[in-house]
């Protein structure tokens, strides 16, 4: 290999290295881009969920999961940590979900019953299904409503990694009770600190001098590959 080829190869490698550093810096800037001030001040601020149905007609609610630093949410999680008897740094994420029950039953059959305590006649209607048990009693001077409800909440966490830009995490929630609908929610996780310097043994090969070297070195991560 002549001197000109060696110099050309070195400049090519240097150009590739600079390009990788610039691209990696761009990705980190996008990932660490600060969120709007209102959201940083209150990451638990509820937002309306986006709803959609799957191929089977099942309703899902979608929330975008935010990422904050520990310092940004310390003051908000302090009271929660005190109630649980733990340190704030042990809290890795929080979700808040708002349900709304919106059901109307019409044309339910009623029947007269005899209330022994009041020696009076009252009317009672009932509704029972796989999720709700409702018994309503109405009399001339008093009445009562007994309502019991059951539900099952399923949570899915989806991660979407675009070619350019930060990875976005979404929370998908669905429930079984048709009387209940998910209206609002909020979700966030604490950003884990990443190592900026690694020290350890290494094995290196220099193609220009055809030499193999072994030792201990320090590295600044440029690209993090996941498996």
Instruction: Give the pLDDT score at 3.
Output: 45
**Inside any domain, residue 87:** no
Domain membership of residue 220 (yes or no) is no
Number of domains in the chain: 1
* DSSP summary character for residue 116: T
Is 61 part of any domain? no
Is residue 132 within 8 A of residue 179, CB to CB? The reply is yes
* Residue 91: closest CA among 211, 189, 10: 189
What is the C-alpha separation between 107 and 220, in angstroms, rounded? 72
Whether the Cβ atoms of residue 148 and residue 131 lie closer than 8 Å to each other? no
Q: How many helices (H) and strands (E) does the chain have?
A: 3, 13
Sign of the Cα pseudo-torsion (31, 37, 43, 47, in order): negative
Q: Is residue 135 part of a domain?
A: yes
Q: Environment class of residue 70 by beta-carbon count within 10 Å: exposed (0-12), middle (13-18) or buried (19+)?
A: middle
How many C-beta neighbours within 10 Å does residue 1 have? 8
Residue 188 has pLDDT above 50, yes or no: yes
- Render pLDDT for 193-204 as a digit per residue (tens, 0 to 9): 766 667 777 777
Least confident of 4-13, 99-108, 178-187: 4-13
- Cα–Cα distance measured from residue 79 to residue 110, given in angstroms and rounded to the nearest whole number: 49
d(CA 187, CA 170): 9
- Mean of pLDDT over the chain: 77
Higher per-residue confidence, 6 vs 134? 134
pLDDT band per the 50, 70, 90 thresholds, residue 34 = very low
Pairing of strands 47-48, 180-190: antiparallel
120 within a domain of the structure (yes/no)? yes
Question: C-alpha distances in angstroms, 144 versus 101, 147, 168?
Answer: 19, 10, 49
In-domain check, residue 102? no
Judged against a pLDDT cut of 60, whether residue 84 lies above it is answered with: yes
- The number of C-alpha atoms within 13 Å of 108 and in the hemisphere containing its C-beta is 15
Tens digit of pLDDT for each residue in 123-160?
A: 889 999 989 999 998 887 778 899 999 999 998 888 88
Q: What is the distance between the alpha carbons of residues 184 and 175, in angstroms, rounded to a whole number?
A: 14
The single-letter DSSP state of residue 193 is P
Residue 131, domain member (yes or no) = yes
Q: Bigger pLDDT: 227 or 162?
A: 162
Assigned domain for 33 exists: no
pLDDT at 13 over 60: no
In which domain, by residue range, is 144 found? 110-149
Min mean pLDDT across 17-21, 87-91, 98-102 is at: 17-21
């Amino acid at each position: 290999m002549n001197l000109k080829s060696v110099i050309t190869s070195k400049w090519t490698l240097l150009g590739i290295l600079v390009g990788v550093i610039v691209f990696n810096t761009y990705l980190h800037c996008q990932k660490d881009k600060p969120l709007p001030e209102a959201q940083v001040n209150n990451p638990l601020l509820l937002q309306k969920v986006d709803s959609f149905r799957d191929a089977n007609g099942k309703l899902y609610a979608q929330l975008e999961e935010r990422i904050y630093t520990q310092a940004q949410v310390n003051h908000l999680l302090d009271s929660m940590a005190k109630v649980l008897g733990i340190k704030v740094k042990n809290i890795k994420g929080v979700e808040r979900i708002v349900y709304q029950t919106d059901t109307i039953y019409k044309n339910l059959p009623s029947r007269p019953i005899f209330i022994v305590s009041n020696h009076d006649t009252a009317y009672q209607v009932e509704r029972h299904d796989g999720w709700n048990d409702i018994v309503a009693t109405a009399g001339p001077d008093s009445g009562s409503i007994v309502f019991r409800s059951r539900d099952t909440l399923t949570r899915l966490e989806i991660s979407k990694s675009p070619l350019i830009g930060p990875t976005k995490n979404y929370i998908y929630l669905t429930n079984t009770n048709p009387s209940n609908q998910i209206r609002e929610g909020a979700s966030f996780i604490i950003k884990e600190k990443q190592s900026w310097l690694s020290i350890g043994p290494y094995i290196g090969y220099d193609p220009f001098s055809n030499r193999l070297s072994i030792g201990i070195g320090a590295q600044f991560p440029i690209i993090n590959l996941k498996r």
